[in-house]
């Protein structure tokens, strides 16, 4: 397991908060990271946030966790959500991450548990993630 969580947040100039939110707790990605940071640091994992202003008209936030796009990690974390052992499974219509247009631009949404799982996946040593 990696000992550093490097969060690279590329955003529109002047942004104070990510446009990436939890669908169930309404927390932003940075609020979720702030909430789990003490647990990670307690386990000896350093959390580092690098912010980069994007030039131009692109208002969609780009977030990388240890160099891996957040949307890739969310999709991987959510892939087990639809697994069912029953012969009469109900098809789940929710796929994550979900992108919605807001006044802030195009924002990513997913349940908070998927963001937390994405952090754990980013800390794994597997090369197949990228």
pLDDT digits (tens, 9 = 90+) for 2-41: 889 999 998 877 778 888 889 899 999 999 999 999 999 9
Within a domain: residue 129? no
Question: How big is the CA angle at 38 (ends 36 and 39), to the nearest 5 degrees?
Answer: 65
Q: Answer for the pair 65, 119: CB distance below 8 angstroms, yes or no.
A: yes
Within a domain: residue 130? no
> CA nearest 98: which of 120, 83, 114, 82?
114
Q: Answer for the pair 54, 10: CB distance below 8 angstroms, yes or no.
A: yes
Q: What is the pTM of this model?
A: 0.80
What's the whole-number mean pLDDT along residues 114-118?
93
Domain range for residue 29?
4-123
Number of domains in the chain: 1
Instruction: Specify the higher pLDDT residue, 99 or 9.
Output: 9
- Using a 10 angstrom Cβ sphere, with 0-12 exposed, 13-18 middle and 19 or more buried, the burial of residue 86 is exposed
Q: What is the pLDDT of residue 6?
A: 96
Within a domain: residue 23? yes
Strand partners, 99: 108
Within a domain: residue 39? yes
């Amino acid at each position: 397991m990696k000992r550093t969580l490097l969060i690279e947040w590329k955003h529109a100039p002047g942004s104070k908060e990510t446009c990436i939110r939890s669908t169930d707790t309404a927390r932003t990605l940075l609020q979720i990271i702030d909430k789990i940071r003490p647990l990670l640091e307690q386990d000896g994992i350093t959390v580092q946030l690098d912010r980069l202003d994007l030039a131009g008209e692109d208002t969609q936030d780009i977030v990388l966790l240890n160099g891996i796009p957040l949307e890739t990690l969310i999709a991987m974390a959510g892939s087990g959500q639809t697994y069912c052992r029953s012969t009469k499974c109900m098809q789940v219509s929710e796929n994550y991450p979900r992108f919605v247009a807001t006044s802030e631009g195009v924002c990513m949404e997913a349940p908070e548990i998927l963001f937390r799982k994405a952090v754990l996946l980013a800390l794994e040593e597997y090369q197949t993630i990228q």
